[in-house]
């Protein structure tokens, strides 16, 4: 079951057609195929019968940590509404879908209804790109038996201080928010945090790629990421795609924004806006260590500091995840 909210007369809502179930699910498998051996429910003390999966990149760890954080906060809610300010290609949501399906399969009950609302700017996402994201996520959810809805709303914090029309949460929905910093595609602003506070979410999961702390830090971060990929045995094609779609946007954003105009750290913005950081749960820390044990590469380690989990490659931090509440 999948649906999409469309309001043709509402200029802030981007119309997304229903996914065509007769089409091949190839785009879903191409963008969101994840080995069952790397799903969140697979980590245990029992050795895997199959060969270990290939090494996974920093974003894969980050996506799985996201899922653990969301599930810790949302508990057994039957209707989940996820607000995403940096949807990208939507690849950070399949790990949560997999864990939802796994969790409710163990509970002998149906998975909850899942709704993702992406707040985007017309400059960052083309309608056809959003349609592809919608189709891929809907197809992935359908494969797992999860009722799913995807909506894209236009929101420009520079031109409007109020939430976009059509953004609301039903009384029975558990709301969660996905915020990023240093991704190269999105920079949080006070207006984003005002929107978040109005929805009073159960949890805000923040992902900091550490690329908005000046040119020198950006260069170090990019170099560390490429070194980690090389050590993990990534193919030249994977490295090329990371350079094109991950690193280049970060460098371009810093160049356009000006290296001497650094935004405040995301954690400082959240604290100033009245959000409180939550301590990293034992489940999240154990999951991070589990994922590291299952990769064949060395040099990665996890650090827990200031209520955040950070993934490091040798002496360079690659990404950190923290959890906040209003």
Task: Domains for the chain: give ranges and CATH numbers.
Answer: 56-213+262-325 (3.40.50.150)
pLDDT band at 13 (very low <50, low <70, confident <90, very high): low
Q: What is the pLDDT of residue 56?
A: 43
d(CA 268, CA 288): 24
Report the C-alpha gap between 315 and 182 in whole angstroms.
Answer: 19
User: What is the mean predicted confidence (pLDDT) over 78-97?
Assistant: 88
Binning pLDDT at 50, 70 and 90, where does residue 184 land?
A: low
Distance CA 56, CA 88 (A): 19
- How far apart CA 158 and CA 259 sit, in angstroms, is 20
pLDDT-above-90 percentage for the chain: 14
Q: What is the pLDDT of residue 264?
A: 77
Q: Of the candidates 213, 279, 282, which has an alpha carbon nearest to the alpha carbon of residue 250?
A: 213
Alpha helices in 149-281, H assignment, sequence order: 190-199, 215-231, 236-242, 248-257, 266-272
Region 202-231: mean pLDDT is 81
- What percentage of residues in the chain have a pLDDT greater than 70? 69
- Of the listed ranges 6-10, 167-171, 212-216, 271-275, the one predicted with least confidence: 6-10
Burial bucket for residue 59 (CB in 10 Å: 0-12, 13-18, 19+): buried
pLDDT mean across residues, the chain = 74
The answer to whether residues 196 and 164 touch, using CB atoms and an 8 Å cutoff, is no
pLDDT of residue 219: 82
Give the confidence band of 214 by pLDDT, cuts at 50, 70, 90: low
């Amino acid at each position: 079951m999948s649906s999409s909210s469309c309001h043709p007369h509402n200029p802030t809502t981007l119309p997304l057609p229903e996914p065509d179930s007769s089409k091949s699910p190839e785009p879903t498998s191409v963008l969101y195929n994840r080995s069952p051996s790397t799903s969140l429910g697979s980590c245990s003390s029992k050795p895997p019968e199959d060969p270990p999966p290939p090494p996974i990149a920093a974003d894969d760890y980050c996506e799985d940590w996201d899922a653990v954080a969301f599930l810790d906060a949302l508990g057994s809610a039957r209707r989940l509404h996820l607000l995403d300010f940096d949807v990208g290609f939507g690849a950070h949501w399949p790990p949560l879908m997999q864990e939802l399906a796994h969790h409710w399969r163990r509970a002998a009950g149906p998975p909850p209804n899942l709704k993702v609302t992406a707040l985007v700017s017309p400059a960052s996402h083309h309608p056809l790109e959003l349609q592809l994201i919608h189709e891929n996520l809907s197809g992935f959810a359908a494969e797992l038996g999860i009722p799913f809805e995807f909506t894209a709303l236009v929101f420009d914090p520079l031109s409007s201080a109020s939430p976009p029309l059509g953004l609301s949460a039903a009384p029975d929905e558990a709301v969660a928010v996905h915020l990023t910093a240093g991704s190269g595609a999105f920079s949080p602003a006070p207006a984003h945090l005002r929107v978040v506070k109005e929805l009073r979410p159960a949890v805000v999961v923040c992902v900091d790629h550490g690329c908005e702390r000046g040119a020198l830090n950006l260069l170090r971060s990019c170099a560390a990421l490429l070194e980690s990929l090389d050590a993990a045995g990534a193919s030249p094609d994977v490295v090329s795609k990371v350079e094109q779609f991950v690193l280049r946007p970060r460098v371009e954003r810093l160049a356009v924004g000006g290296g001497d105009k650094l935004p405040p750290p995301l954690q400082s913005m959240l604290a100033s806006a009245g959000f409180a950081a939550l301590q990293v749960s034992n489940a999240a820390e154990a999951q991070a260590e589990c994922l590291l044990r299952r990769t064949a590469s060395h040099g990665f380690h996890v650090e827990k500091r200031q209520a955040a989990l950070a993934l490091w490659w040798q002496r360079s931090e690659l990404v950190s995840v923290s959890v906040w509440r209003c």
